Structure 1
Amino acid sequence: MAGGHEKRQRKVLSDEELGRILSLMKGADSVELKATVPAVDQRSAVDALGLDAIEAQIRQVFFFDTPDLALDAAGLVVRARRVQGGSGDSVVKLRPVEPTELPKRIRQSDAFTVEVDAMPGGFVCSGSMKGAVDAADVRDAVRGGRPVRKLFSKQQRAFYDEYAPDVLGLDDLTILGPIFVLKLKSTPKGFGRKLTAEMWLFPDNSRILELSTKCPPSEAFEVAAETRAFLGAKGIDLDAEQQTKTRTALELFAAAP
């Protein structure tokens, strides 16, 4: 195993969980297979995959919630990003969702996608209303120069209003961030698929390295097997304890003064 760890027991989904993920994938637009690499193994994983940090895209991520994470408790994630080069994006995400129970007007929106995120031993289905925004506008909003709600489209605001606690408007939320992220897409030799590596650099000097690849729901199990075999051959431990970027970020900033 990478980093000299003792061999861990592989986390295996139960028959009930397999049935559940199959049901969710029938109503999803895509599946994203994710795995995080333990901190002690991140350098060796980067070397094994031939990743060059100098080629990575720099991003700055901001979350919006209350200090006690009321949106998170309601299943909502509100986020905006600045991307190197001047572009950016925003999203209002609801999770978990049942695809068949979403209102038709939401499900048919071109800005809305349903995705199943699968990690070793777990999965979640989310619905995301996405939008484009200039990096400069995000900067202005987090500095108080424009209302936060202006970072989100009319569709995003309507989606937020439908699922957020009644007393919380977008302009009432606290800015949680920033977090700097290095994102690199590549096609490693011997894999034949796009692999995305994201290094999240948190203010407390901790970091998360996440590896991911996307595929249509119909190919999910085949791609999952190929990805596990490829990463395992590179010495990357997929049975290590997994972390989630959003959860780590929200808990870190919620705990800060």
Structure 2
Amino acid sequence: MGFWQPDPLETLAGQADEVELKVVVPRRDGRSLGIDPDRGPARRVYFLDTPDLDLYRHGVIVRFRDRRRRRDDAVVKLRPVVPGRVPGWLRQTDRFQMEIDALPGHAVCSGALKERLGRNDVSRAVAAGRPLTGLLSARQRKLLAKYSPAGVGLDDLVVYGPIDVRCNNVKLRGLDRGLTAERWRFPDGSDLLELSTRCGVDEAAAVAKRVTAALRAYGVAPAAEQPTKTEMALLA
């Protein structure tokens, strides 16, 4: 499977229908793909957690995206998630999506409950000093109440961010699908360039091989470390 190893991806194959193949690459490799890290649609991303990262350590992620010219969104994600243990009320909503997140050497099944917000809802809340928790839907609050560690409530959460994000669509010779390139620049000055594509679990092995071959043709290889964007945002 090229950059992605079959184990543990094959082990998780029965847990979701879709996989997102991700790879963190050195920023210099982005230039060989024609990516300008300072161009592309701009977004600002915020996370919520306690000062001790109690949510993250219990597999719960709360994220808000200020999408500037498009509708914002709020996401409560469980990672990892065991599909058979997801409560019925959550499985029955079409806004709860499960997929396998696969990085080189690491794969995990995650489930995300996303709610669309209005345009500029996030930036207006931040500018007014209102808590971002006020943008969460009733279902998202219910999800947080169920999976947050004991003693952690909405009033205990603080903001991590903003994180400046630039997104680009990348077309490569010899590859029949586009890649999404996201450059995340964190408040401490560090940054991360991630390439990704989604596909069905049953075609993940073939897609991984094709993506690997196309990237190698451009001289692109995975970075030595493969952190997740959330990990960098909360621990940077």
The answer, yes or no, to whether TM exceeds 0.5 is yes
CA distance in 2, matches of 1:144, 1:74: 30
Q: Does 1:242 align with 2:226?
A: yes
Contact preservation (8 Å) 1:24, 1:99? no
Q: Deviations over 1:130-159 (max 9, x none)?
A: 111134221233345434222111211111
**Correspondence for 1:212 among 196, 200, 206:** 196
Contact preservation (8 Å) 1:215, 1:223? yes
**Correspondence for 1:71 among 38, 42, 55:** 55
Higher deviation after alignment, 48-57 or 152-161: 48-57
Paired letter, 2:23: A
Paired letter, 1:31: V
1:107 aligned residue: 91
Q: Deviations over 1:231-254 (max 9, x none)?
A: 1111111263212211011012xx
Number of residues of Structure 1 aligned to a counterpart in Structure 2: 235
CA distance in 2, matches of 1:228, 1:111: 31
Q: Secondary structure at the match of 1:182?
A: strand
1:179 aligned residue: 163
Unpaired runs of 5+ in structure 1?
A: 1-9, 253-257
Q: Does 1:31 align with 2:19?
A: yes
Percent of counterpart pairs with the same letter? 45
For residue 115 of structure 1, report the CA deviation from its aligned partner.
1.1
Runs of 4+ in 1 over 6 A off after TM superposition: none
Structural mapping, 1:51-130, within 5 Å:
51-53=35-37, 56-130=40-114
Contact preservation (8 Å) 1:120, 1:239? no
Unpaired runs of 5+ in structure 2?
A: none
CA distance in 2, matches of 1:189, 1:12: 20
Please tell me the root mean square deviation across aligned C-alpha atoms, in Å. 2.1
Paired letter, 1:138: V
Q: Deviations over 1:188-232 (max 9, x none)?
A: 332110200000111222110001111111111111111111111
1:229 aligned residue: 213
Paired letter, 2:18: S
CA distance in 1, matches of 2:3, 2:42: 33
Q: TM-score, normalised by structure 2?
A: 0.91
1:21 aligned residue: 9
**Correspondence for 2:150 among 166, 169, 174:** 166
- Using a 3 Å threshold, how does the CA distance of structure 1 residues 31 and 111 change in structure 2: closer, same or farther? same
Contact preservation (8 Å) 2:15, 2:109? no
For residue 187 of structure 1, report the CA deviation from its aligned partner.
2.6
For residue 52 of structure 1, report the CA deviation from its aligned partner.
4.4
- Using a 3 Å threshold, how does the CA distance of structure 1 residues 144 and 161 change in structure 2: closer, same or farther? farther
- Using a 3 Å threshold, how does the CA distance of structure 1 residues 182 and 245 change in structure 2: closer, same or farther? same
For residue 73 of structure 1, report the CA deviation from its aligned partner.
1.1
Paired letter, 2:54: A
Contact preservation (8 Å) 1:37, 1:237? yes
Q: Secondary structure at the match of 1:248?
A: helix
Q: Does 1:138 align with 2:129?
A: no
